[in-house]
A and B are shown apart, each in its own frame.
Chain A
């Protein structure tokens, strides 16, 4: 029986690979790998430069904790489980040990590989910390990764999503602090603290209310993973689109009422809300934070006489605005587009307007993160300001062309 279940796991994994393979081919033809390689090469040059001339007071430990915490704490689990009525699923739980074992092994294996890669990249900086103790540090990383994998599973078993999210945040914060501590000092004190923190977490996870097998959570996780993957593929080619994942995002929702109550803003209003509540806004916000952080660090270091910041700003600007472009596709087949009393042209103009507004807003916020290099680099600053002002206009022209083509294709 266990071999049947193991076969099912492999069958589902194979089915998934077969399904996404064509999209990966399309993506590889799009020039995206070349774009990534370019970013990679620029980053490597910058990084080698940094390793060779690490400035005094460079936050080695903070950077280490920042890059290693997500790798330790984030433990995705691909189970390939599919939606079904849980009444039918629950009796199957006892047969799933072999099935889930394979998912856990895969998740741990991948997690350790990514952790190893990033640790190796960080290693030259780690060597320069005062706490340099390679064997102890590696042992700590392995221990924390393994414990976090178990805890991530325990989190999935927590019934209420609010509790689950609080626990996850708590765990991430504690891991960040522990890693930061181990990068500052690898003495007995840190070992004691680690044991206490882990014991506390284990106790905490034991007392929270749990379900034996978190079917709904695992299925939802699968759904989210697939949706993210397909929304990534949708940058390159039309793909099957499911209903969007909706989140309130109150920290962004406050901008919605600013859209004027006028017919000519109907689709601006709609797409702004779509941006705020769907994954598009989520991705943009994450990229904005990441880009802002990178810009700030590069700007603070004044890399390549300020041109490093310009490159970083433009790269992140392009990547972020590329996400906004997906808004065009979200409601492409909505019936209301053909019911609302509005000409297609007016609808298209509104789409272009929202794209321009969002592009300006995000590019300006991103520009602010480059402030540390503004003094004495007027040419570089002008280039960035020109990019922020002109690129949304270029996008508007491109978008107009695409929208006209889409309508022609539909006709």
Chain B
């Protein structure tokens, strides 16, 4: 197993004077799914933005497939795809055109794209909407387009921010099954989510942030152990989360 994402001593924020996240360390191996958890404002989105290269770190290094953004922009960026919390689409494109655009940007071979696009449209129940302009789609459908685009690119790392927002139960199930498949194929996933009860069953490890710092990390068992160190009774991720955050109080 190779390291897909390596974040070392990452500190950063919007203002150079004030760091929102401090000393974040994170390593993701290929085929791993990591859950990034924390309350609103804990620093999850800021961490993701730094990994995406949308923000410049105050200090620390971020490597994807052994490359930093500064070393090689194209190689770094072709190592991941991103599904944002709120779907951000080119609204004038149809569903199919959006998928084609993404495939072109990630240099997906044309034959592979043509095969995959049919499968994805079928799986996400979007065949009838393939010619629809994305501006006219519901939020859930837009999210599906985002997910399909990410899956088409087949990178080493999927960065997914709150993927279940706006999806119907069928969409959530399709996505989870898809992510399991993605893992099997050797890709890694960094997923930020508040739906702890769901991700508990799918993620291999978790990274919990609070106030811009890592407060706990590891497998579910390791999270429970850390939460129960002070005599807590946490039995699942949600309880461990409350225990680590407020000493068990909701």
Interface residues, chain A, CB within 8 Å of chain B? 243-244, 246, 248, 256, 261-263, 265-266, 269-270, 273-274, 277-278, 331, 334-336, 338-343
Check A269 against B90 for contact (C-beta < 8 Å): no
Within 8 A of A (CB), among B203-220: none
Besides A243-B135, A262-B104, A339-B82, 17 other CB < 8 A contacts?
A243-B91, A244-B92, A246-B91, A246-B135, A261-B104, A273-B93, A273-B97, A277-B93, A277-B133, A336-B105, A338-B54, A340-B77, A340-B105, A341-B74, A341-B77, A341-B105, A341-B107
- In the complex, whether B101 has a CB less than 8 A from a CB of chain A is yes
Contacts of B91 in A (CB 8 A): 243-244, 246
The distance in angstroms between the C-alpha atoms of A338 and B101, with both chains bound, is: 15
The distance in angstroms between the C-alpha atoms of A248 and B92, with both chains bound, is: 8
Nearest chain A CB to B152 CB, angstrom units = 13
The interface size bin for chain B is 20 to 34
Ordered by A's residue number, 9 sampled pairs between the chains whose C-beta atoms are within 8 Å are A270-B90, A270-B101, A273-B90, A336-B90, A336-B105, A338-B54, A339-B77, A341-B75, A342-B105
The distance in angstroms between the C-alpha atoms of A246 and B76, with both chains bound, is: 33
Check A274 against B92 for contact (C-beta < 8 Å): yes
Check B104 against A265 for contact (C-beta < 8 Å): yes
Nearest chain A CB to B3 CB, angstrom units = 19
The distance in angstroms between the C-alpha atoms of A263 and B108, with both chains bound, is: 9
Check B78 against A331 for contact (C-beta < 8 Å): no
Contacts of B102 in A (CB 8 A): 340
Q: Which of A262, A266, A336, A340 contacts B88 (CB 8 A)?
A: A336
- Please name the 9 residue pairs, one residue from A and one from B, whose CB atoms are nearest each other, closest first: A341-B78, A341-B77, A277-B92, A340-B105, A246-B135, A266-B104, A266-B105, A246-B92, A261-B110
Contacts of B74 in A (CB 8 A): 341-343
- In the complex, whether B142 has a CB less than 8 A from a CB of chain A is no
Determine the residue in chain A with the shortest Cβ distance to B105. A340
Q: Which of B82, B90, B103, B135 contacts A334 (CB 8 A)?
A: B90
Given A243-B135, A246-B136, answer yes or no on A269-B92 (Cβ-Cβ < 8 Å): no
Check B133 against A331 for contact (C-beta < 8 Å): no
Contacts of A273 in B (CB 8 A): 90, 92-93, 97
Given A339-B52, A341-B77, answer yes or no on A274-B90 (Cβ-Cβ < 8 Å): yes
The distance in angstroms between the C-alpha atoms of A396 and B46, with both chains bound, is: 38
- In the complex, whether B100 has a CB less than 8 A from a CB of chain A is yes
The distance in angstroms between the C-alpha atoms of A243 and B92, with both chains bound, is: 9
Q: Which of B92, B93, B100, B106 contacts A341 (CB 8 A)?
A: B106
Most buried by A among B54, B74, B78, B110: B74
Most buried by B among A261, A274, A334, A343: A261
Within 8 A of A (CB), among B115-163: 133, 135-136
* Contact bitstring B11-34, A, C-beta under 8 A = 1, else 0: 000000000000000000000000
Contacts of B136 in A (CB 8 A): 246
Given A335-B88, A339-B52, A341-B105, answer yes or no on A270-B93 (Cβ-Cβ < 8 Å): yes
Check A263 against B105 for contact (C-beta < 8 Å): yes
The distance in angstroms between the C-alpha atoms of A266 and B97, with both chains bound, is: 11
Determine the residue in chain B with the shortest Cβ distance to A259. B104
The distance in angstroms between the C-alpha atoms of A266 and B107, with both chains bound, is: 10
Determine the residue in chain A with the shortest Cβ distance to B75. A341
The distance in angstroms between the C-alpha atoms of A273 and B100, with both chains bound, is: 12
- In the complex, whether B84 has a CB less than 8 A from a CB of chain A is yes
Nearest chain B CB to A196 CB, angstrom units = 40
Nearest chain B CB to A344 CB, angstrom units = 8
The distance in angstroms between the C-alpha atoms of A335 and B83, with both chains bound, is: 11
Contacts of B52 in A (CB 8 A): 338-339
Contacts of B81 in A (CB 8 A): 339
Nearest chain A CB to B55 CB, angstrom units = 10
Determine the residue in chain A with the shortest Cβ distance to B84. A335
Nearest chain B CB to A162 CB, angstrom units = 15
Determine the residue in chain A with the shortest Cβ distance to B82. A339
- In the complex, whether B186 has a CB less than 8 A from a CB of chain A is no
- In the complex, whether B53 has a CB less than 8 A from a CB of chain A is yes
Contacts of A246 in B (CB 8 A): 91-92, 133, 135-136
- In the complex, whether B197 has a CB less than 8 A from a CB of chain A is no
The distance in angstroms between the C-alpha atoms of A215 and B7, with both chains bound, is: 52
Check B133 against A248 for contact (C-beta < 8 Å): yes
Contacts of A248 in B (CB 8 A): 133
Contacts of A261 in B (CB 8 A): 100, 103-104, 110, 113
- In the complex, whether B39 has a CB less than 8 A from a CB of chain A is no
Determine the residue in chain A with the shortest Cβ distance to B132. A248
The distance in angstroms between the C-alpha atoms of A343 and B100, with both chains bound, is: 19
The distance in angstroms between the C-alpha atoms of A273 and B101, with both chains bound, is: 11
Most buried by A among B54, B88, B105, B135: B105
Given A243-B91, A248-B133, A341-B77, answer yes or no on A335-B54 (Cβ-Cβ < 8 Å): yes
Contacts of A339 in B (CB 8 A): 52, 77, 81-82
Check B78 against A269 for contact (C-beta < 8 Å): no
The distance in angstroms between the C-alpha atoms of A256 and B136, with both chains bound, is: 20
* Contact bitstring B64-97, A, C-beta under 8 A = 1, else 0: 0000000001111110011010001011110001
